[in-house]
Structure 1
Amino acid sequence: MTGKAEFERRTEPFRKELLAHCYRMLASVDEAEDLVQETYLRAWRSYAAFEGRSSLRVWLYRIATNACLTALEQRGRRALPSGLGGPSDDPAAAGTETEVGWVEPIPDALVVSDPATIVTTRESLRLALIAALQYLPPKQRAVLILREVLAFPAAEVATMLDTTVAAVKSTLQRARARLDETAPERSDVIEPTDPQARALLAEYIAGFENADIAALERALRADAAIELVGTSTWFSGRVTCLRLLATAVGSPGDWRMIGTVANGQPAAAAYLRDAGGTYQAFGLAVLTPTSTGLTHIHVFGTPGLVAKFGLPLSCPGGAQERQTEDAEA
Structure 2
Amino acid sequence: MPVVGALRKLVGVSVLAEGLEPAGVRAGPEDADAFLADAQRYRRELLAHCYRMTGSLHDAEDLVQETYLRAWKSYKGFEGKSSVRTWLYRIATNTCLTALEGKQRRPLPTGLGQASADPADELTQRGEVPWLEPLPDGADDPTDPSTIVGSRESVRLAFVAALQHLSPRQRAVLVLRDVLQWKAAEVGEAIGASTAAVNSLLQRARAQLDAVGPSEDDKLDPPGTPEAKDLLDRYIAAFEAYDIDKLVEMFTEEAVWEMPPFDGWYQSPAHIHRLIKTHCPAEKAGDMRLVPTTANGQPAAGLYMRNKESGVHEAFQFHVLDVTDGAVAHVVAFGEPAIFAKFGLPATL
Structure 1 residue 110, shift from structure 2 partner? 7.3
Answer yes or no: is the 8 Å Cα contact 1:206–1:215 preserved in 2: no
Q: 2:134 aligns with which of 100, 105, 114?
A: 105
Q: CA RMSD in A?
A: 1.7
Answer yes or no: is the 8 Å Cα contact 2:44–2:138 preserved in 1: no
Structure 1 stretch 290-299 or stretch 6-15: which is displaced more? Answer: 6-15
Structure 1 residue 116, shift from structure 2 partner? 2.4
Q: 2:250 aligns with which of 219, 225, 232?
A: 219
Answer yes or no: is the 8 Å Cα contact 2:33–2:72 preserved in 1: no
Structure 1 stretch 7-16 or stretch 69-78: which is displaced more? Answer: 7-16
Answer yes or no: is the 8 Å Cα contact 2:249–2:269 preserved in 1: no
1:279-318 map, 5 Å: 279-315=313-349
1:233 counterpart = 2:261: no
Structure 1 residue 217, shift from structure 2 partner? 2.1
Structure 1 residue 113, shift from structure 2 partner? 6.6
Which whole-Å deviations, capped at 9, do the CAs of 1:93-117 have from their partners, x for residues lacking one? 3123343210000111278877223
Q: 2:170 aligns with which of 140, 165, 179?
A: 140
Answer yes or no: is the 8 Å Cα contact 2:50–2:93 preserved in 1: yes
Give the aligned residue type for 2:285: P
Answer yes or no: is the 8 Å Cα contact 2:228–2:326 preserved in 1: no
* Matched-pair identity in %: 47
Structure 1 residue 303, shift from structure 2 partner? 1.1
Q: 1:72 aligns with which of 100, 109, 123?
A: 100
1:278 counterpart = 2:312: yes
Aligned to 2:211: 181
Instruction: State how far apart, in whole Å, the 2-side matches of 1:33 and 1:110 are.
Output: 17
Structure 1 residue 17, shift from structure 2 partner? 0.6
Unaligned runs of 5+ in 2: 1-28
Instruction: State how far apart, in whole Å, the 1-side matches of 2:253 and 2:226 are.
Output: 21
Instruction: State how far apart, in whole Å, the 2-side matches of 1:277 and 1:285 are.
Output: 22
Following TM superposition, the consecutive aligned residue runs of length 4 or more in structure 1 with deviations greater than 6 angstroms are: 110-114
Answer yes or no: is the 8 Å Cα contact 2:288–2:303 preserved in 1: yes
Which whole-Å deviations, capped at 9, do the CAs of 1:130-170 have from their partners, x for residues lacking one? 11101111111100000001111222211111222222112
Q: Secondary structure at the match of 1:101?
A: coil
Instruction: State how far apart, in whole Å, the 1-side matches of 2:205 and 2:234 are.
Output: 38
Instruction: Report the CA distance shift for 1:112/1:106 in structure 2 as closer, same or farther (over 3 A).
Output: farther
Structure 1 residue 246, shift from structure 2 partner? 2.5
Instruction: Report the CA distance shift for 1:91/1:126 in structure 2 as closer, same or farther (over 3 A).
Output: farther
Structure 1 stretch 243-252 or stretch 256-265: which is displaced more? Answer: 243-252
Instruction: State how far apart, in whole Å, the 2-side matches of 1:246 and 1:159 are.
Output: 55
Give the aligned residue type for 1:314: T
Instruction: Report the CA distance shift for 1:46/1:112 in structure 2 as closer, same or farther (over 3 A).
Output: farther
Aligned to 1:123: 153
Answer yes or no: is the 8 Å Cα contact 1:58–1:156 preserved in 2: no
Instruction: State how far apart, in whole Å, the 1-side matches of 2:128 and 2:295 are.
Output: 25
Answer yes or no: is the 8 Å Cα contact 2:258–2:331 preserved in 1: yes
Which whole-Å deviations, capped at 9, do the CAs of 1:52-82 have from their partners, x for residues lacking one? 1222111111111011111111311110001
Instruction: State how far apart, in whole Å, the 2-side matches of 1:32 and 1:111 are.
Output: 19
| Superposition TM-score, scaled by structure 2 size | 0.86
Instruction: State how far apart, in whole Å, the 2-side matches of 1:127 and 1:299 are.
Output: 12
Q: Secondary structure at the match of 1:77?
A: coil
Aligned to 1:258: 291
1:166 counterpart = 2:196: yes
Unaligned runs of 5+ in 1: 316-329
Structure 1 stretch 106-115 or stretch 128-137: which is displaced more? Answer: 106-115
Answer yes or no: is the 8 Å Cα contact 2:119–2:272 preserved in 1: no
1:13 counterpart = 2:41: yes
| Superposition TM-score, scaled by structure 1 size | 0.91
Instruction: State how far apart, in whole Å, the 1-side matches of 2:97 and 2:122 are.
Output: 36
Give the aligned residue type for 1:258: V
